[in-house]
Amino acid sequence: MDLLVNVDVENLAKAADFYCKSFDLRIGRRFGTSAVELLGASSTMYLLEKPAGSATSSRTSQRRQYHRHWTPVHLDFVVGDVEAAVARTVNAGARQEGDIHKQPWGKIALMSDPFGNGFCLLEFVGRGYDEIAE
């Protein structure tokens, strides 16, 4: 099974620029003017331009919003140097949401992209998550 990652954004060009600069991804295919494929990660990522206020589903009254929002699903980007990754993503337009935290498995920085989508930057040390696995 393959995992594809889809991220709704309000501005496709701005989002592609952000994710390519932040994570050294590259544009693959373009799907008209409303979607782009990003390559270079372990899963293919698709940016989908959806207008603010548009319906998220035909079965709910929720509307898309692009200020900071919470969702139970987010992306974690594993990086070699979390401090450098924070600087790179902030320079590209991300927001750092607190200090970098040290854990037995490594370091974590909580972030959000320019569209309010939360993500984390992780730097593993030692055996990574195996440091805490039972």
pLDDT-wise least confident of 18-22, 35-39, 69-73, 77-81: 69-73
Q: Residue 66 falls within a domain, yes or no?
A: no
> Cα(first)–Cα(last) distance of the chain, in Å?
26
> Could you tell me if 78 and 134 lie in one domain?
yes
> Could you tell me if 125 and 79 lie in one domain?
yes
Q: Residue 67 falls within a domain, yes or no?
A: no
Q: Model confidence over 54-76: pLDDT tens digits? A: 999 899 898 999 999 888 889 99
> Could you tell me if 80 and 42 lie in one domain?
no
**Residues in contact with 1: Cβ distance below 8 Å, sequence separation at least 6, in sequence order:** none
What is the domain-level CATH number for residue 41?
3.10.180.10
Q: Model confidence over 90-99: pLDDT tens digits? A: 999 999 999 9
> Could you tell me if 84 and 134 lie in one domain?
yes
Q: Residue 35 falls within a domain, yes or no?
A: yes
Residue 84 belongs to domain spanning: 74-134
Q: Residue 65 falls within a domain, yes or no?
A: no
Backbone Cα Rg of the chain? 16
pLDDT confidence bin for 81, thresholds 50/70/90: very high
Give the single-character DSSP code of 57: -
Number of folded domains that form the chain: 2
